[in-house]
Structure 1
């Protein structure tokens, strides 16, 4: 009961056949401390024994009234449960919203990381293009020097012919010796120029290798590619791999087959996985290796190939 709280109570009762008294009382508490609790109820009966007989019909009426009270109580219980379910549903919705907010924050963080990675790749690509531009300038300079050297050699040849004719006409041995000395001096000068050109070409090759080391490779969809920091006996670059063998017999047979077809295959052995790698050629840049792969090695090899990169020595 709610004897210790304020509330609302309602009741009904009656006296029947001068013998039976029935009463029903329902109490609803209004205090906040008992909010959501079921109401309490009481049923009071009194019977006076005498000559009159209690009839069954009155008991049926009493049972009907009791059933109505039970139905009202069931309605109140259903309402309480519905309120509880509504509170649980609200809590679930709040938890779902918090989870979605956390996922949104995680997605933003991932996008930020991808942006930073794209910036780094763009910077590396800019450096690579600058290196290529410098190498191209040096190549153009080497071509100009080669053209100048060709003209110089033509001039030397013409000079030799003129000196020979002059020696014959003059008929003097001294003039012939002087002419020969002049030719030797010109040849010495040509050798010096040739050595200087060789040194310049070596510098260009060194720049090409350095460019290959610094190049950042962005793989295309479905592209087969392997990269190692270094490999014993191999210089940095991109190797067009034709096949890999773990058995020496098949390896030697494949190399012989390519040689018989007019190719000049090369190979190296990796101690790490104990395989022999057969490659067609080494390239200084990824683009050169891709061009050779996509063109079937200039139409000379129909088999599948892939690219193996050695970054440094």
Structure 2
């Protein structure tokens, strides 16, 4: 069964919220949706009220409701990005006292810095995979991890005890993993989805899914720019110049125009697969790749 058919089944049953009492299935399907699906402006199971999405995803029905829902997701993304940019700017350590305050938060100060295990998993690099589907899955998982961790920062606050505790717990989970292979974006995403009590972060997971679906509709250079900015936000830039270097080209209106340029799936899916090297949309003739975390 390809993703398009599975997505329709999910929408008919209430989307991801309907799986909140089946944690293993919820985790597997969310991971699959992020890693394996292409752009989905015509229906998204991550909406908490999926009735308009269901109407649009049903063959032969009008797509008006889905267009409105997708546009809401686009607005949700630019609000998220602008909020993180403001947080990064507000928390720039501009005085010695602020620099000491930042260094006192051990995990926020070190966990995302270049060279750490987590940083390597979040870096864009050549995986060596020949399969375009596998390369695309890695890209999707990496973007999802960046968005999810930035959502944590946005929700808990930069330099807050809650953020420090979350990152401490995440590092402990990664350290206790008995898999001796290097951490990958695919495995990290699985950990973020499965390692914490689901009742505490369901809504954050669904929001992350919606935001990833928006970025999948962006052009290649925009995807890269968003990635670089989200990485920089996590690393807490130490100067205005460092922040400006990754956000100077950001324009919310241009972004909205770009991701909403085609409300239908054909052109968006074609551009997505051109960017990642695949030939066909995931919902048409999908060949679901076997790339999964070891714990999948």
Length-normalised TM-score, structure 1: 0.24
Structure with greater contact order relative to length (CA < 8 Å, sep ≥ 6): 2
| Bigger share in helix | 2
| Bigger share in strand | 1
> Larger Rg: 1 or 2?
1
Length-normalised TM-score, structure 2: 0.25
